[in-house]
Amino acid sequence: MTGKERILKALRFEEPDRPPHFEVMFELEREAFGLQFPDRSSWGGLSPGEKERAVGLCMTIYERIVERFGWDGLCVFWPWSDPDGIVAAKRAFGEDLLIGAPVGHSVWAIESVDDWMQFAADLVERPQEIHAEAERRCARALAKIEALLDAGADFIFLANDVAFNSGPFIQPRQFAEFVTPYLARQVARIRERGGIAFVHSDGNLMPILEDLLSANPHVLHSIDPMAGMDIAEVKRLTHGRVALMGNVQCSLLQDGPAEAIRESALYCLRHASPGGGYIFSTSNTIFPGMPLGNYETMLGTLRAFWR
């Protein structure tokens, strides 16, 4: 079974030969391979030849990640939201992996608010301006989505943090007005084009879970345990409606100990993988500063579980 087949089977709420796994980002390439992705700020100034070489370096690193860590999918995070990255990844991996790319800032979210006092006032006093900006964000996102799908992307990873640990960044009724309709349009376009829609947010999503489900994504990420998201409960509420990805606690992967990492990973596997509909991953990404050995402990738990 290829990685792509494994993920697609899980998304049909069937149990594959083992729980599929990949991460949205992996930023320990220096520790793991002695290589380094091109600086994220450098892409805009590259000549065509320089960009081709930079994309080639990214593919070299991705190939090593996939081989060493047994990834079943690849979210091409460098270059970010770039069709050239999708074309190169498809050339490198063919149909062995589910391949996609991130699209961020597609709706109002925490990372897109610069002035919180003004934003709070505008929600009440100038809702038409909030809607107008939401429309602009949606239009930009839809253009990126089209280009990525034209390049051959299997999935789009819509990355917008819409909740803190305490709950949504705006009231649920405001979320339903200012966020959900625009997110739903993006998901609908992805589905119309035959793609798979991943929706990401950290934080406590429980007060807006039904809104997120109403947007009709295929996968919800990251099911943040540090915000109290219990994957067993989320699975109970959503199985058959949306697949889940994530929930292995990132703070434990940062600080350990190893036994706590294993317990977090096993909790996810035992509660989320039965009946399909689950992609095993961390509750965020493999970020700089995380001990590489802790990620390997997590993967060792996966291997022990399915064997």
What is the per-residue pLDDT for 233? 98
**Position 7 pLDDT exceeds 90:** yes
**261-273 pLDDT per residue, tens:** 999 999 999 999 9
**32-36, 45-49, 170-174, 190-194, range with the lowest pLDDT:** 45-49
Please state, in angstroms and rounded to a whole number, the distance separating the CA atoms of residues 71 and 37: 18
Q: What is the rounded average pLDDT of the residues 23-48?
A: 95
What is the per-residue pLDDT for 149? 98
Could you check whether the bond before residue 257 is cis, i.e. omega within 30 degrees of 0? yes
**Position 44 pLDDT exceeds 90:** no
**225-244 pLDDT per residue, tens:** 999 999 999 999 999 999 99
Residues contacting residue 24 through CB under 8 Å, at least 6 positions apart = 75, 77, 102, 157, 159, 200, 221, 281, 284, 285
Q: Which of 31, 44, 32, 34 has its CA nearest to residue 78?
A: 44
Q: What is the CATH number of the domain that holds 56?
A: 3.20.20.210
**Position 164 pLDDT exceeds 90:** yes
| Residue-number span of the structural domain to which 154 is assigned | 3-306
Cα separation values, 14 from 67, 158, 223, 279, Å = 25, 24, 20, 12
**Position 306 pLDDT exceeds 90:** no
Tokens of 268: 């996810």
Tokens of 83: 């069709």
**Position 307 pLDDT exceeds 90:** no
CA angle 50, 54, 58 (to 5 degrees): 170
Domain count within the chain = 1
Q: Is 125 helix (H, G, I), strand (E, B) or coil?
A: helix
Report phi then psi at 269, rounded to 5: -65, -45
